[in-house]
Amino acid sequence: MNFLRGVMGGQSAGPQHTEAETIQKLCDRVASSTLLDDRRNAVRALKSLSKKYRLEVGIQAMEHLIHVLQTDRSDSEIIGYALDTLYNIISNDEEEEVEENSTRQSEDLGSQFTEIFIKQQENVTLLLSLLEEFDFHVRWPAVKLLTSLLKQLGPQVQQIILVSPMGVSRLMDLLADSREVIRNDGVLLLQALTRSNGAIQKIVAFENAFERLLDIITEEGNSDGGIVVEDCLILLQNLLKNNNSNQNFFKEGSYIQRMKPWFHVGDENSGWSAQKVTNLHVMLQLVRVLVSPTNPPGATSSCQKAMFQCGLLQQLCTILMATGVPADILTETINTVSEVIRGYQVNQDYFASVNAPSNPPRPAIVVLLMSMVNERQPFVLRCAVLYCFQCFLYKNQKGQGEIVSTLLPSTIDATGNSVSAGQLLCGGLFSTDSLSNWCAAVALAHALQENATQKEQLLRVQLATSIGNPPVSLLQQCTNILSQGDKIDRRGSKIQTRVGLLMLLCTWLSNCPIAVTHFLHNSANVPFLTGQIAENLGEEEQLVQGLCALLLGISIYFNDNSLESYMKEKLKQLIEKRIGKENFIEKLGFISKHELYSRASQKPQPNFPSPEYMIFDHEFTKLVKELEGVITKAIYKSSEEDKKEEEVKKTLEQHDSIVTHYKNMIREQDLQLEELKQQISTLKCQNEQLQTAVTQQVSQIQQHKDQYNLLKVQLGKDNQHQGSYSDGAQVNGIQPEEVGRLREEIEELKSNQKLLQSQLAEKDSLIENLKSSQASPGTNEQSSATASRDSEQIAELKQELATLKSQLNSQSVEITKLQTEKQELLQKTETFAKSVPAPGESEAGMAAKTTDVEGRLSALLQETKELKNEIKALSEERTAIKEQLDASNSTIAILQNEKNKLEMDVTDSKKEQDDLLVLLADQDQKIFSLKNKLKELGHPVRLKCFQKRFMVYFKELYCSMEMLCLHIHITGMNTWVHEYGIVCTAFTVFGE
Amino acid sequence: MAYAYLFKYIIIGDTGVGKSCLLLQFTDKRFQPVHDLTIGVEFGARMITIDGKQIKLQIWDTKIKIRSFPCKISISTIQHVCFVLNMAGQESFRSITRSYYRGAAGALLVYDITRRDTFNHLTTWLEDARQHSNSNMVIMLIGNKSDLESRREVKKEEGEAFAREHGLIFMETSAKTASNVEEAFINTAKEIYEKIQEGVFDINNEANGIKIGPQHAATNATHAGNQGGQQAGGGCC
């Protein structure tokens, strides 16, 4: 070594020269000799010198050795020597025993030579190709050399191997080598290859590395296997650590199941060799790699699930409760169990159910907590138990509730035989061991983490401090210890206890106004805190001051102003007066500026090199991060701002409620919208149907219109002189046909009416004539003729009337029919018009159409109204005619009555006449007989007198008869009158 | 879970053609447009059934994972880095992929129908694959992003022609709509399965990317015969 130091120092000594010359000569021989044997011997000589004269051989021979590797591949011996020589130059492994100084220098040498070697990338590829040589003398040194290169300049060599085709695959084949030395060195090579290179890790895993390594571990006897198992485990760790892809593959390939047998340690007490402890340790770490809290949550939980399902967690728990397990392994097992259960409810529940095999059985949690608060247990073990407890409670409200409930009055076991978790924690909290204090405080804080219910529940806890004194609440006891902290003699640092308690109080009070009120209720607390903060203490106390400031800040920020004397505003004024805002904020800042703060904030595991470093808890650092800003803001804010903020909060709440209200409304409206959409779609369908109906109807209307127009033209021809239908031009009627028909009928009616009127007039004139003829003295014959004509006419009229009436009836029926038809049509159109505007909201086009249709309909309606009016007028006219007819009928009736009377009179007088005629005949006979008698007797004078008297009487009668005859219209009368006239003439003749 | 066979697949192709998305769609039945780099989607596994046999597919996305950066980098920087890597290191990227060929039973060669350059690179990819894989590796050509019809640059016929010319199975897929994704993976598996039935594959050489399931292995062991007679006996009982 003196020699080497001389070399490094640059001194030139005698022997050095000769060795350098020898090396030179050997190099020349390697380069120039044509004989393989000669070259081989020279390389062998170089190899023997390479350990001792590393620098010289390295500088002078490297180039030649590489050349040998390229050209003499056929001779495995020379290749082997060359590789060995290169390995000696590059590797630092052999220098383990040298002094520190030279080690550093030789490390420099190694990396420098590595750099020279890999400058030509082909050299590495050359090495890779040599690995394919099966010869042990080539393959083994090649493996060692490559390992060495990777150890020296990992990233560069990795990159070269990565891009050389099949590079990694070739290296993977080493694991399949039947020669254990090469396989084992292959594992070491892969270790160096996979170190922090994700791409290579992935390829190695792809090449079935997991399968092969797990096979090797099983073959070697799991944890009982030697260092090979450890090497394999470290390689597995390389492949899995921070490589999500490989972790996923490991899980998917069901390799987690294959880890379970590793932990079959059992009770056989077969002894714990150092190697076994190391192997188990790495095995446990490998489990932790898969469920590390830093992994993506989904990946961790799926591994946790698999570990429970295959019984790995159960296996680990048996180690936890087994006896004779070395503390190192036990600690790591606790840490592993912690991470396997962390945040995964099923595993947490299982862990809560695990019992220690003691008599009576105690829950594993209780047994573990007993170790935590036992100052005789190793520090790392106590930390591990704390971690386990934290992981058990992480995102486990059920577990938190169970732990807190063991402290509540109702559930505490009165007999006191069994110790509960809560009792252990309280014991730890108030023990004289500061480490126990800290651990118990942090553990209890984790039972309250993000769990408002448990924060309130814990307020109920009362402690009996000493006999005779009233019970004190747990919260109060904590603050009491805090304020008396200095007076009690404790083991360990006093700060630890106070920091622990302050962390517990901060966690307890945050987000829990009731706890804040409880805290402030003790009037001693605030003065204590302000006193602590305001005091100008040494650096040691700065952290406590910061935590006191945080606690005070929390009791301001989460204050619900329920205590008159400690309202937000008053506390702020207190800070302003006693401490000063700036000072307060500065003290608050001490927490996060503490050197141990950032350390704790990195990982959830409480991992401290020594008890003095045990200051911060990971979850607490999160709380500080969360609260520091808001408390600073709250302190700086003036009361007005505070009020404003509260108002804002209120309004925000209002807004929130409004927002929720609106959200609900929107939801409802959404539903409605959905419904309406459906409705619209159905309506659209309907609309389409209706539209088609409308178009059909429009076409019909068009047809009708055409017909109507045709009719109108015809009508126009008919009624040119009347011109009363001039408005008919605008008719867009629904039923022009009907209208036309109606019109026609009306026309007919009108003509009928006219006819009737004319007939009436005729009759009137006839009656007039009759009257006048009655008034003026006319001949019997004349009057009887007129009477007979009249009666004929009357009969005719009657008939006509009857026909008219029937016509009228039929027409009125028709009219009513038409009217009902029209009504129906109107209704139809109306319903259509109604149904159309409903969907019209959505479609303006439809609306326009419907309005159009409506317009047309209204026009039609108007028209029909007009027509109705016309009909009405016509019917009025008709009624008038009827009335006239009735009047004439009544006159006719009167006349008939008169006639009847007259007839009666006539028959009466006929009878009288007949009687008279009989009388006359009698008289005549009498007269004749009398005449005869008189002739016989000669008395004609007397008879003549009588005869004359009779004649006068007869004449009188006749006159009255004539008078009567004037009134008689019956035809029979004429003949009678005629006869009567004959009788009269006969009388006249007779009278003469 | 018990399976009859296990096939190893790799997905190859230019960056940005949607390899990871295809994998995620097949294994998780979901689509993630902006790639979440924290989730290990570079490997996925799924069980399928062919001919009544359970077959486990293990699929590797061959992209390089950039590890040398600190944890907190925005996605945009990563994309930028990827971009730079593509431009400068396309060759090295491809050579990393070469390491996967040997151990794969099937490869999905993916191009992007909206980017002609990814189609143009197929020849190089195929040469590489043929050169470094075992000759029996089943290669399926996949034109991905078929949902982006409006931006199409490579016609379906071109893909078909390329596949015909090189003896590949062809399919257009969309990782986004899941169209044909299932079929692509399953058809490849069918092809491999047929080759096994024909006896083309040496199923006892795991380097081919095929592994026989535990049950089948047991029957095989009894077939293997005399060595380890006790073991075989145990298998029988």
**B198 CB-near residues (< 8 Å, 6+ apart):** none
**What is the pLDDT, as a whole number, of residue B49?**
93
Q: How many residues does chain B have?
A: 237
Chains A & B: contacts with CB separation below 8 Å: 81
Task: Read off the pLDDT band of A392 (50, 70, 90).
Answer: very high
Region of A778 (left: φ > 0; alpha: ψ -120 to 50; beta: rest) is: beta
Asked whether residue A600 is assigned to any structural domain, the reply reads yes
CB A146 within 8 A of CB A131: yes
- Asked if the C-beta of B40 comes within 8 angstroms of chain A's C-beta atoms, the answer is yes
Q: What is the mean pLDDT of residues A923-948?
A: 66
A473 and A601 together in one domain: yes
Task: Read off the pLDDT band of A431 (50, 70, 90).
Answer: confident
3-state secondary structure of A245: helix
Q: What is the mean pLDDT of residues B203-224?
A: 66
- What percent of chain A is modeled with pLDDT above 90? 22
Q: Is B206 in Cβ contact with A198 (below 8 Å)?
A: no
DSSP per-residue string spanning A142-177: HHHHHHHHHHHSHHHHHHHHHHSTTHHHHHHHGGG-
Task: Read off the pLDDT band of A834 (50, 70, 90).
Answer: low
The residues pairing with B61 across neighbouring beta strands, listed in sequence order, are B11
Q: Is B38 in Cβ contact with A296 (below 8 Å)?
A: yes
Helix (H) or strand (E) holding B48: strand B43-50
Q: Is the pLDDT of residue A991 over 60?
A: no
User: Which chain B residues contact residue A296 at CB under 8 A?
Assistant: 38-40
- Asked if the C-beta of B8 comes within 8 angstroms of chain A's C-beta atoms, the answer is yes
A446 and A559 together in one domain: yes
CB B3 within 8 A of CB B210: no
- Asked if the C-beta of B72 comes within 8 angstroms of chain A's C-beta atoms, the answer is no
**What is the pLDDT, as a whole number, of residue B78?**
47
Highest mean pLDDT among A227-236, A470-479, A942-951: A227-236
Q: Is the pLDDT of residue A768 over 90?
A: no
**What is the pLDDT, as a whole number, of residue B91?**
60
Distance CA A279, CA A273 (A): 10
**A689 CB-near residues (< 8 Å, 6+ apart):** none
Q: What is the mean pLDDT of residues A645-649?
A: 76
Q: What is the mean pLDDT of residues A488-500?
A: 75
Q: Name which residue leads in pLDDT, A456 or A912.
A: A456
To the nearest whole Å, the CA of A320 is away from the closest chain B CA by 30
- Asked if the C-beta of B103 comes within 8 angstroms of chain A's C-beta atoms, the answer is yes
- Asked if the C-beta of B3 comes within 8 angstroms of chain A's C-beta atoms, the answer is no
Distance CA A212, CA A339 (A): 27
Q: What is the mean pLDDT of residues A745-756?
A: 82
- Report the interhelical angle of A639-718 vs A780-835 (nearest 10°): 150
| Tokens representing residue A58 in the block | 């390295």
- Listed residues A637, A667, A688: the one ending a domain: A637
**A866 CB-near residues (< 8 Å, 6+ apart):** A727
Q: How many domains does chain A have?
A: 3
Q: Selecting from 2.60.120.620, 3.40.50.300, 3.30.565.60, 3.30.70.920, what CATH number does the domain B5-65+81-212 have? A: 3.40.50.300
The residues pairing with B172 across neighbouring beta strands, listed in sequence order, are B143
- What percent of chain B is modeled with pLDDT above 70? 73
- What percent of chain A is modeled with pLDDT above 70? 81
Dihedral in degrees, nearest 10, Cα atoms A215, A219, A224, A230: -40
- Asked if the C-beta of B39 comes within 8 angstroms of chain A's C-beta atoms, the answer is yes
Distance CA A513, CA A375 (A): 36
Task: Read off the pLDDT band of A618 (50, 70, 90).
Answer: very high
Task: Read off the pLDDT band of B166 (50, 70, 90).
Answer: very high
Read off the CATH number of the domain in which A300 is found: 1.25.10.10
Pick B42's closest partner by Cβ from A169, A202, A254. Answer: A202
**What is the pLDDT, as a whole number, of residue B29?**
86
To the nearest whole Å, the CA of B76 is away from the closest chain A CA by 21
The residues pairing with B141 across neighbouring beta strands, listed in sequence order, are B109, B170
**What is the pLDDT, as a whole number, of residue A885?**
86
**What is the pLDDT, as a whole number, of residue A345?**
94
Cβ count within 10 A of residue A437: 27
CA A461 from centre of chain: 43
To the nearest whole Å, the CA of A835 is away from the closest chain B CA by 43
Closest-CA residue to A438 (of A479, A497, A387, A485): A497
A401 and A316 together in one domain: no
Asked whether residue A525 is assigned to any structural domain, the reply reads yes
- Asked if the C-beta of B161 comes within 8 angstroms of chain A's C-beta atoms, the answer is no
User: Which chain A residues contact residue B67 at CB under 8 A?
Assistant: 196-199, 242
**What is the pLDDT, as a whole number, of residue B64?**
54
Distance CA A182, CA A175 (A): 8
**What is the pLDDT, as a whole number, of residue A317?**
92
Beta strands B5-12; B106-112: pairing state: parallel
Asked whether residue A572 is assigned to any structural domain, the reply reads yes
Residue B58: φ, ψ to 5° = -115, 125
Task: Using alpha carbons, list the distances in angstroms from residue A914 to A906, A911, B50.
Answer: 12, 5, 138
Nearest chain B residue to A242 by CA distance is B67
Q: Which domain holds residue A524?
A: 397-409+419-637
Q: Is A244 in Cβ contact with B39 (below 8 Å)?
A: yes
Distance CA A169, CA B98 (A): 10
Q: Is the pLDDT of residue A114 over 60?
A: yes
To the nearest whole Å, the CA of B151 is away from the closest chain A CA by 33
Distance CA A641, CA A767 (A): 115
Task: Read off the pLDDT band of A565 (50, 70, 90).
Answer: confident
Residue B141: φ, ψ to 5° = -90, 130
Q: Name which residue leads in pLDDT, B43 or A988.
A: B43
Task: Read off the pLDDT band of A389 (50, 70, 90).
Answer: very high
- Asked if the C-beta of B42 comes within 8 angstroms of chain A's C-beta atoms, the answer is yes
Indicate the average pLDDT of chain A: 81
**What is the pLDDT, as a whole number, of residue B89?**
42
**A944 CB-near residues (< 8 Å, 6+ apart):** none
- Asked if the C-beta of B26 comes within 8 angstroms of chain A's C-beta atoms, the answer is no
CB B92 within 8 A of CB B230: no
Q: What is the pLDDT of residues A247-282, one digit of tens each?
A: 999 998 889 999 999 998 765 566 788 899 999 999
Q: How many residues does chain A have?
A: 992
| Tokens representing residue A896 in the block | 């008939």
CA A260 from centre of chain: 43
Task: Read off the pLDDT band of B221 (50, 70, 90).
Answer: very low
Q: Is B100 in Cβ contact with A208 (below 8 Å)?
A: no
User: Which chain A residues contact residue B206 at CB under 8 A?
Assistant: 208, 211
Q: What is the mean pLDDT of residues A722-734?
A: 47
Asked whether residue A529 is assigned to any structural domain, the reply reads yes
Q: Is the pLDDT of residue B38 over 50?
A: no
Distance CA B189, CA B4 (A): 13
**What is the pLDDT, as a whole number, of residue A829?**
65
| Tokens representing residue A40 in the block | 């081989």
Neighbouring C-alpha atoms within 13 Å toward the C-beta of A301: 9
To the nearest whole Å, the CA of B113 is away from the closest chain A CA by 28
A272 and A403 together in one domain: no
Q: What is the mean pLDDT of residues A631-654?
A: 77
Amino acid at A339: E
CA A183 from centre of chain: 57
Closest-CA residue to A314 (of A291, A337, A290): A337
Distance CA A609, CA A280 (A): 22
- Listed range (A467-476, A814-823, B43-52) with the worst mean pLDDT: A814-823
**What is the pLDDT, as a whole number, of residue A9?**
41
Q: Name which residue leads in pLDDT, A273 or A833.
A: A273
Closest-CA residue to A21 (of A48, A58, A60): A60
Residue of B66, B99, B132, B134 to mutate when probing chain A, most A C-beta within 10 A: B99
Q: What is the pLDDT of residues B81-132, one digit of tens each?
A: 444 443 334 566 677 788 888 889 999 999 999 999 999 999 999 998 998 8
Pick A208's closest partner by Cβ from B60, B95, B206. Answer: B206
Distance CA A584, CA A586 (A): 5
**What is the pLDDT, as a whole number, of residue A406?**
87
A585 and A481 together in one domain: yes
Q: What is the pTM of this model?
A: 0.66
CB A544 within 8 A of CB A501: no
Nearest chain A residue to B207 by CA distance is A207
Q: What is the pLDDT of residues A538-562, one digit of tens each?
A: 777 888 889 999 999 999 888 888 8
DSSP state at residue B64: P
Cis peptide before A360 (omega within 30 of 0): yes
| Tokens representing residue A756 in the block | 């009737």
Distance CA A958, CA A986 (A): 13
Closest-CA residue to A349 (of A315, A383, A305): A305
| Tokens representing residue A517 in the block | 């009120």
CA A563-A567-A571 angle, 5° bins: 130
Task: Read off the pLDDT band of A779 (50, 70, 90).
Answer: very low
**A325 CB-near residues (< 8 Å, 6+ apart):** A265, A272, A319, A333
Asked whether residue A257 is assigned to any structural domain, the reply reads yes
- Asked if the C-beta of B86 comes within 8 angstroms of chain A's C-beta atoms, the answer is no
Match 């927490």 to its residue by tokens: A591
Q: What is the mean pLDDT of residues A195-212?
A: 90
User: Which chain A residues contact residue B40 at CB under 8 A?
Assistant: 243-248, 296, 299
DSSP state at residue A524: T
**What is the pLDDT, as a whole number, of residue B82?**
43
- Listed range (A111-115, A800-804, B18-22) with the worst mean pLDDT: A800-804
Distance CA A337, CA A385 (A): 10
Q: Is the pLDDT of residue B170 over 90?
A: yes
A551 and A607 together in one domain: yes
**What is the pLDDT, as a whole number, of residue B84?**
40
